[in-house]
Structure 1
Amino acid sequence: MNTLFIVLTLLIPIFLLLTKGRRSPKRVPPGSLGIPIVGHSLHLLRAMRANTAEKWLQQRIQIYGPISKLSLFGKPTVFIHGKDANKFVFTSDSSTLSNSQPQSVKKLLGDRCLLELSGQDHKRVRDALGLFLKPESLKSYVGKMDEEVRMHIAMHWEGKQEVKVLPLMKTLTFNIICALLFGIERGARREKLVDWFQEMMEGMWSIPINLPFTRYNRSLQASASIRNMTKDLIGEKRMELAKKGVNPHKDLISCMLSTRDENNREVINENEIMDNVMLVMTAGHDTSSILITCPNFS
């Protein structure tokens, strides 16, 4: 009993020091920031894994109204809901509202991707990425995508009595991403990239505690490995583009490297290429695989 009393006596002052300054002034939304660092992250992650995140948010709206404060992934956060909130977000300029991701996500994807840029920088990078998605460019990708789909069906579907569709769609999506974003053919290099990417995604929405053996620490290491591979690929693509007859739109890295301004200088630097390849790879993976898995009830 005495030991417990001593432990509590030591811990309570520490807790009070950690929470000091977290008390909100009067003119802030209602709600609680939760315990330091962790905040409401575990509750949200649990709801996301159970596919009940929308219900979790609706419960917050019922308790606090359409505007409330909370803490996610180590940062104070304001949650807003409703048509007025949508109007505010989509009509505000960069002086009122700017793109920003949690620090944990920023460390994984980089600070020069579209999610972090605004103004002219955002337009410059967005325009360069747009060249990769032009209709005439997309036509040239059909053949490669068809090849990947045929190989995938032959390897994972033909002759099988039972298949798990969503995991296989994620495999297919990532193989297409490897081909169109990185220009990496099947083999050991692509397999390494798949392993690193899966490790990185495991820590994308985790508590951002960077200690050895934590999920977030492993995710950071995987992200660094992907960036090193991307840097090597950029060097290889530059050498290929220096040769005549190479298609500058055969993959995303080549496309961004070949984008030039009026003075024939590269529009996007190496860090921006790496960060935005990471962003497109991450954004396109789960969204695309889930979309093509959903049955058509129409």
Structure 2
Amino acid sequence: MNPFLTFLLLLIPIFFILVTIKRRTSQKFPPGSLGLPIIGQSLSLLWAMKANTTEKWLEERVKKYGPISKLSLFGNTAVFIYGQAANKLVFTSDGRTIANGQPASSRAILGERNLFQLNGEDHKRVRDSLVSFLKPECLKQYVGKMDGEVRRHLEMHWEDTQKVTVLPLMKTLTFNIICSLLFGVERGGRRDELVNCFQKMMEGMWSIPINLPFTRYNQSLRASAQAQNIVKELIHEKRVELEKKGASSHQDLITCLLSIHGKDKAALTEDEIVHNVMLVMVAGHDTSSILITFMVRLLENDPTILAGVVQEQEDIAKSKSSGELLTWEDLTKMKYTWKVALETLRVFPPVFGGFRKALKDVEYGGYLIPQGWNIFWVTSMTHMDANIFQEPSKFNPARFENQATIPPYCFVPFGAGARICPGYEFARIETLVAIHYLVTRFTWKLCCTDDTFSRVPLLVPNQGLPIQIMPKKLPSH
């Protein structure tokens, strides 16, 4: 080969390296400090979440560094962003630029093949599989079964008592609904074991990923392994039922996922089924139970809104014969109740924020987010922005009379765009059915005057929201 040509070929990669270095150095990295190795700002954020000072922690960060800053959380270098543009970046970027990227602790506990970790075609394939069971057309047939679970729960835990603690009971209810409708696990030893594993597993979801004996992270990993073994047993049993052709493909979520295969639909691997069942357990359990709990608190604090919800629900109850289950048509009449739920989600979003990962260098807000860094975004920063929601601290369900008036990517309790939560409709049905029976069967008073809450990492009201309950006289038909 010509020596001059050889020399040119050697110069080409050097040229590209120099251009890349120059481009990176010409761009500004976000301001901020990475803190101590591994720990970074993890402990200070976790302390703020537990002490109910998260908003102050974020405001101080914004005041010090501006709308974008670098930090280190849960073992990963990250960039904190917030606002409408940040939400749009997170929810509209394709999987080749910004990927789902949960903290290492969450990823290890839930599994690498869960929907929050997948991107591109894998994300679409698994999401479409989940939606095939969770879409409204399918969920219509489960309203009656959910009604039965709620009634049974109230008979066991609310009737013939004068005081209850709402959050733990709502968690019991939502977990039983998940076990029954999504996993086909009946009441008994296996469901109890799954509950225990799940509770231990949740404690380490946002923790520093140091896997040493007696750490919260280590205990959560062991609980996750136990839960995954139970799910694998369920998968084996349901596969046998399908092969014997004795099971409906839509009798529960696991059976539905096992049934997906054919010319147009690729089958899910066992890991994908297991890891997404784990994800559904987390997403479907805590968010709905927290929403219902905070609605109970807010309804007691606002008699006018309570009266509107009670009127709507009692009108529906009076239209039913004794013992008749709620139907999909009944849920469509609960418009005001759902507006109250949406306003609750605006003021008290159960999910604090989330993480993504930059697969390429990303230019945002005049700064460089380097490839490989995490992106940490926070929901509540737009929900409580006075430029978006007038008097944001005021609880006002009328904001949702016309959701089209809310600017896009500003109200995101369930995500947005292609990343919107596939369980949105399931959560809506669950919430409306539970609230219907609570307000038509009981009145209540708050036992705790301190209305603070903490995040561990999800919302927990002070003392779990203890209330004194009084049964209502059921309407005669």
Q: Does 1:232 align with 2:226?
A: no
Q: What is the CA distance between 1:96 and its match in structure 2?
A: 1.9
Question: What's the CA shift for 1:224?
Answer: 0.3
Given that 1:124 and 1:267 are in contact with CA atoms closer than 8 Å, whether structure 2 keeps it comes out as: no
Confirm or deny that 1:123 pairs with 2:98.
Answer: no
Bigger relative contact order, structure 1 or 2 (CA pairs below 8 A, ≥6 apart) = 2
Kept in 1: contact 2:94–2:120 (CA 8 A) = no
- Where structure 1 has 5 or more consecutive residues not aligned to the other structure, the ranges are 1-24
Give 1:144 shift.
2.4
Task: Kindly indicate which of the two structures has a greater share of residues assigned to strand.
Answer: 2
Aligned counterpart, 1:293: 293
**CA offset at residue 33 of structure 1?**
1.0
Q: Contact between 1:99 and 1:116, CA under 8 Å: does it hold in 2?
A: yes
Whole-angstrom CA distance in 1 between matches of 2:199 and 2:116:
21
Identity of counterpart residues, as a percentage? Answer: 65
Question: Which residues of 2 match residues 104-143 of structure 1 at below 5 A?
Answer: 104-143=105-144
Shift of 1:242: 1.5
Superposition pairs for residues 73-222 of structure 1, below 5 Å?
Answer: 73-222=74-223
Q: State the partner residue of 1:28.
A: 29
Matches of 2:181 and 2:52 in 1, distance apart?
A: 31
More divergent stretch after superposition (30-39 vs 270-279)? 30-39
RMSD: 1.7
User: TM-score, length-normalised on structure 2?
Assistant: 0.55
Q: Are the structure 2 counterparts of residues 266 and 240 from structure 1 closer, same or farther at C-alpha, using a change threshold of 3 Å? A: farther
2:96–2:120 contact (8 Å) kept in structure 1: no
**Aligned AA for 2:64?**
I
* In structure 2, distance between residues paired with 1:79 and 1:259: 38
- CA distance in 2 between partners of 1:152 and 1:130 (Å): 27
* Aligned residue number for residue 67 of structure 1: 68
SS at match of 1:271: helix
Give, in angstroms, the shift of residue 266 of structure 1.
Answer: 5.6
Question: 1:14-41: CA deviations, max 9, x gaps?
Answer: xxxxxxxxxxx88321111111111111
Displacement after TM superposition at 1:245 (Å) = 4.1
Question: Does residue 282 in structure 1 map to residue 318 in structure 2?
Answer: no
Query: Quick one: distance in 2 between partners of 1:28 and 1:121?
Result: 31
Match of 2:402 in 1: none
Larger Rg: 2
State the shift of 1:94 in Å. 2.2
Cα separation, 1, equivalents of 2:138 and 2:95 = 31
Equivalenced residue count is 273
Q: Match for 1:220: what amino acid?
A: L
Report the counterpart of residue 13 of structure 1 in structure 2.
Answer: none
Question: 1:70 Cα shift?
Answer: 0.8
Task: Name the residue aligned to 1:269.
Answer: 269
Residue equivalent to 2:252: 251
Is 1:257–1:266's contact at 8 Å kept on the other side of the alignment?
no
CA distance in structure 2 between the partners assigned to 1:135 and 1:90 by the alignment: 23
Q: Contact 2:105 / 2:204 at 8 angstroms: preserved in 1?
A: no
Partner of 2:49: 48
Greater displacement, 75-84 / 248-257:
75-84
Q: CA offset at residue 142 of structure 1?
A: 2.0
Letter in 1 for 2:283: A
Q: What letter corresponds to residue 38 of structure 1 in structure 2?
A: I
- 2-structure distance, mates of 1:50, 1:183: 38
- TM (norm. structure 1) is 0.87
Distance 2:248 2:56 in 1: 48
Give the residue type in structure 2 aligned to 1:147.
G
Bigger helix fraction: 1
Structure 2 CA distance for aligned equivalents of residues 221 and 209 of structure 1: 13
Is the 1:196–1:225 contact (alpha carbons within 8 Å) kept by the matching residues of 2?
yes
Bigger mean CA deviation after superposition, 54-63 or 212-221: 54-63
